[in-house]
Structure 1
Amino acid sequence: MKSLLQIFTWWNGQTIGTRFHTWRFGKRVGEDAAGNVYYEGGKDSEGRTRRWVIYNGYAEASAIPPGWHGWMHHRTDVSPADENYKPREWQKPHRVNATGTADAYRPQGSISHNGERPRVTGDYDAWTPRS
């Protein structure tokens, strides 16, 4: 059943083309905390080493943490798996974009949020022509 899903859905794991490309050219570089696996191999149209990710679950670009994002986009040649990076105490852990989910931000007064819109405080004057 899983192989049928991979044949007919591009957003669920890897496609047949990605599976073939990974088998043929892919060299595993590392894995992040979410279980996404990163590969490199072959050359792209600009002559750089091609890099790709096989997501653990749905293909969601915001699931890639910042360090791996920089590596994927050739901002650095050193993958996060090869460096000894320790986050600072003030850095928050990476979170996936929650838009469209139950965890999405809904400000007070929006249609999706229970409650009333905050009252206007009077500290704002709208622009009007010829004023």
Structure 2
Amino acid sequence: MNTWVRRYHAYGLAGLADRPRPGKPAVVPGPVRARILALTRTTPPEVTGLSHWSSREMASHLARHEDIRVSHNFVADLPVRRIRRALPPPGPGPAATGGRCRGRVPRAPARARRSPPPRPGRW
């Protein structure tokens, strides 16, 4: 926090802007990243015998069939958004069902959730 305050006092709002970061810039172009992400949303070809992609299999497939050479670590580190399953439409509320929500599983009584008492002679 002190760094930001010092930079603000020294340079004003311009001091709060991002500065160049050390390290090597990304070497994989955007279209290649987009292709890999698109491939993650598909199932592997039937000839592979796979039901889903692993990072190693995808990197191998890209190298053999699409002439894209990336490591399996690069594939595994790509941020893949999880596709949420569509939820069923909500049912009638508690007022329409007489105070009970349909479809909910009731919790077990408190006494049933307790763990058994320790056996004698054990810590």
- Normalised to the residue count of structure 1, the TM-score between the two structures is 0.19
**Bigger Cα Rg:** 2
Greater relative contact order structure (CA < 8 Å, 6+ sep): 1
Choose between structure 1 and 2: higher helix proportion.
Answer: 2
